[in-house]
């Protein structure tokens, strides 16, 4: 990376099943909020990176047309659940390389349009065709964790208790609520040991960020610019089935270490995180892989309260994928928006007081054969921090 990069503005729609709202309109909400937050006009945008998984071909450029952002290079990316953070990463690289002064990254997904009935198995997904859909893969990881590390169903349920409670402070979240461990465990079984309240729902939403070089403090927007200290993107290695590390662990660990090295931080320096918790076991695995605790210690970590709001290192104050919502291509930029609001002290109702270093992690896809299609880890810093 050759030059420093800041996030100048962020925005999101609300996260919900909202099939009545076209994806272009969801994106319009997110992008107009991000542009206003950044203090830039649509005409100032020099390049766009967009993320979507199941969006129609052309949906991102149609959105930009509605916004009057035309004539510029637009690249739409797909990287499974990490599509939005991949768009963010590519925008970060483009600004860091000095190619542009103002780059828009946005993510968009209308899952209700795809998952509203029986789903055809994907042509290239032999595991999925045999029933190894995402809940099954995570269910197997959960079983492995019970077997190898003694993680308990109650510890897994605590992730859902925590993140659904966190979402009570987030007016844009999809599934906030106050639940007991018993209620979580008693909800409908989905893929043993995971129950309904331990699984993310389908969701429709959009989220956006505007990136550019840092602006001077005290001037036009510089005081609220959030420096990006690092962004790393990688795909998984072939998964070693003889390993006790479940699918995705190594990829998240490798990508996290690359990002932390780039940022010059260690896991102990992080004040707040938004990580991939599409299923409760996912947050347990991820907090370990990022080094917040030792291998197998993720269950005890959530039980300790350290990752709850009020603890030393709150994880998923927005509610995470479980409770804010997980609209695939929009998720990563929703995570970025949350961390930006946290670092600016704007996350009313769920603020991590004095947060100065925030981390976003998204892990996307993967099968029984590969250790994740993609992972992005980004390290952001509070405005006005010395680098």
What are the residues binding its own copies (CB under 8 A)?
A: 22-24, 48, 53-59, 61-62, 64-65, 68, 70-80, 86, 90, 93, 97, 99, 110, 113, 122-125, 233-238, 254, 365, 367, 369-371, 373-374
Report in angstroms the alpha-carbon separations of 14 from 27, 189, 192, 306, 330: 11, 28, 31, 28, 11
Closer residue to its own copies, CB minimum distance, 62 or 215: 62
Q: Which of 81, 199, 200, 375 is catalytic?
A: 81
Q: Which is closer to its own copies, CB of 5 or CB of 272?
A: 5
30 in Cβ contact with 18 (< 8 Å): no
Beta-bridged to residue 231, according to DSSP, are: 378
Question: What is the distance between the alpha carbons of residues 42 and 22, in angstroms, rounded to a whole number?
Answer: 20
Shortest Å distance, C-beta 373 to its own copies: 4
The CA distance from 132 to 177, in Å, is: 29
Quote the CA–CA distance of 29 and 27 in Å, as a whole number.
Answer: 5
Rounded CA-CA distance 243/63 in Å is 44
Q: Among 89, 166, 276, 326, which one carries the catalytic annotation?
A: 326
Alpha-carbon gap, residue 380 to 373, rounded angstroms: 23
Complex with its own copies: residue 7 or 374, whichever CB lies closer: 374
Minimum CB distance to its own copies, residue 102 (Å): 16
CB of residue 365 vs its own copies: minimum separation in angstroms? 5
Residue 81: active-site member: yes
Query: CB of residue 135 vs its own copies: minimum separation in angstroms?
Result: 17
Asked if residue 193 has a cis previous peptide bond (ω within 30° of 0), the answer is yes
Looking at beta carbons only, is 51 or 314 nearer to its own copies? 51
Helix orientation angle between 249-263 and 280-289, rounded to the nearest 10 degrees: 50
Whether 383 and 224 have beta carbons less than 8 Å apart is answered as: yes
Residue 364 Cβ vs its own copies, minimum distance, rounded to whole Å: 9
Catalytic annotation present for 326: yes
Provide the CA 143 distance to its chain's centre, in angstroms. Answer: 24
Q: Is the CB of 32 or the CB of 61 nearer to its own copies?
A: 61
Residues marked as catalytic: 81, 326
């Amino acid at each position: 990376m050759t030059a420093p990069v800041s996030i100048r503005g962020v925005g999101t729609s609300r996260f919900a099943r909202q099939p009545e709202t076209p994806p272009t309109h969801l994106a319009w909400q997110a992008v107009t909020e991000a542009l206003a937050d950044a203090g830039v006009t649509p005409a100032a945008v020099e390049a766009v990176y967009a993320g979507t998984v199941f969006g129609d071909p052309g949906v991102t450029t149609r959105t930009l047309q509605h916004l009057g952002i035309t004539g510029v290079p637009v690249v739409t990316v797909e990287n499974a659940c990490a599509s939005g953070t991949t768009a963010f990463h590519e925008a970060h690289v483009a600004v860091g390389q000095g190619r542009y002064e103002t780059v828009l990254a946005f993510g968009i997904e209308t899952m209700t349009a795809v998952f509203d009935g029986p789903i055809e198995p994907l042509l290239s997904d032999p595991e999925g065709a045999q029933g190894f859909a995402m809940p099954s893969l995570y269910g197997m990881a959960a079983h492995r964790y019970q077997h190898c590390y003694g993680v308990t169903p109650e510890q897994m349920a605590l992730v859902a208790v925590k993140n659904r409670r966190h979402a009570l402070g987030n007016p844009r979240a999809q599934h906030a609520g106050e639940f007991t461990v018993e209620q979580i465990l008693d909800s409908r079984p989905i893929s043993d040991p995971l129950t309904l309240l331990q699984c993310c729902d389908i969701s429709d939403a959009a989220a956006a960020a505007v990136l550019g070089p840092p602006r001077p403090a005290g001037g036009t927007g510089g005081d609220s610019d959030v420096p990006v200290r690092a962004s790393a993107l990688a795909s998984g290695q072939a998964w070693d089935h003889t390993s006790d590390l479940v699918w995705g662990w190594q990829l998240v660990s490798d990508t996290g270490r690359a990002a932390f090295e780039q940022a010059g931080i260690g896991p102990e320096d992080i004040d707040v995180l938004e990580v991939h918790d599409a299923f409760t076991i996912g947050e347990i695995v991820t907090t370990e892989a990022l080094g917040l605790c030792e291998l197998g210690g993720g269950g005890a970590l959530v039980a300790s309260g350290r990752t709850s709001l009020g603890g030393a290192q709150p994880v998923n104050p927005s509610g995470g994928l479980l409770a804010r919502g997980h609209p695939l291509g929009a998720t990563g930029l929703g995570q970025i928006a949350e961390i930006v609001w946290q670092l600016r002290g704007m996350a009313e109702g769920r603020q991590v007081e004095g947060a100065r270093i925030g981390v976003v992690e998204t892990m996307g896809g993967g099968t029984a054969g590969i250790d994740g299609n993609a992972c992005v880890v980004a390290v952001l810093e509070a405005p006005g921090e010395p680098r």
